[in-house]
Structure 1
Amino acid sequence: MRGLPFFDRIEAARLLVERLGAYRDAHALVLAIPRGAAPMGRVIADALHAELDVVLVRKLGAPGNPELAIGAVDESGTVHVAEYAATTGADHSYLGHERARQLQRIREQRRRYSRERAPIDPAGRVVIVVDDGLATGETMAAALAAVRRQAPARLVCAVPVASGDALARVRSLADEVVCLHVPPHFGGVGAFYLRFDQVEDEDVVAALR
């Protein structure tokens, strides 16, 4: 397996496929966390002869630092708050406003992404939840918890790269975690890709088609 950095998300997805081969022709469902993981999900689903859909979760950004995840909200409105959230100045009022803002974005995404077909039911399926990397792990944790409530037969978390703390955060939430690299020093996810282009909503819709 080649080392870091990955050339782009597509290369990372192809490398993940090598570790997910046991699920080929297993009637699996690949759930990508939009937007970044949607093109990856398409590659993985095609290689495994699986179906592709999205799991909609949004991170809750810290006050004054929206890129720092202090938790996440899923499509049902369930909020997962990180233990360190209060140290960033995020009080109850802030979390309520941030939850409402991100939940509105989730609803907009669902309308756009599911225009052509209804979401696929993960109940009783092997479900592989994919993201392009885990910094804090909060978004993936929320996604895994949301899918678990829908009773999959097996729940797999698959990411190319993650921090050690994030990996520890999600291990107890999945039946299996596939992670290609756990660097000792972790900055932003984009630092581990030579190309980390912005993925737009149109790209997600195209991947789902």
Structure 2
Amino acid sequence: MAAITLSIDIGGSKIKACTLSKSGKILQEYTKVPTPQSANPKNVLATIKELVQTFKYDRVSAGFPGYVRDGIVHTAPNLGTGYWAGINLAEELMVTLGKPARVVNDADLLGLGCVSGKGFEMMTTLGTGFGTAFYLEGKVLPHLEVAHHPIHKGQDYDAFIGEAAYNEIGKKKWNKRMQYVLSVTKTVFNYDRLYIGGGLSRKLDFKLDDNIILVNNIDGIDGGVKLWEQ
């Protein structure tokens, strides 16, 4: 029998989960709950355990909003790096849920389900912050925290175009900033294709280059399965 994958998206405001067949088809629809107010590992793991208690699955894939290497969290800017630095989240999920688990950055996971698998591709997510991921011939490359690189007058990407900035400056000014950001990423990364997801991607109101593709969480849903094929 083909393995069923539990796919978990740990976000700054919500934690979402669904189960997927081997082909990436949704078996149990996305269910979401608020991320706990004190988003430390103990609270987040308890929330996940409660969220998926009725789900049936054989393995776990999780996307986490921070720098993750080999399942170990190094930064968690929107949840609290002080809580998370050094936490082996893959191991913690395996202990909590009783199934083998893999963890990568949330943009890495979304992009795995979206990219074509041809050439050098980049994934960005526009939401609480600015998520990025890179792929070569469909293989996820080492994660870079581009979000924390200065982009304008000492501000990093998170501060310049994140959700807080959008709420402060409004849609028109935010779109102007996004045009600037996309011109920079195009010059710096020379990608074959750029995928843009996240809640704020729906606020983009200017014409995008032909090699820029807007995606949503459903488009990248089978990233949880493809993580086990890496």
Q: Output the TM-score relative to the length of structure 1.
A: 0.34
Higher relative contact order (CA 8 A, sep 6+): 1
Which one has a bigger Cα radius of gyration? Answer: 2
Higher-helix-fraction structure: 1
Q: Output the TM-score relative to the length of structure 2.
A: 0.32
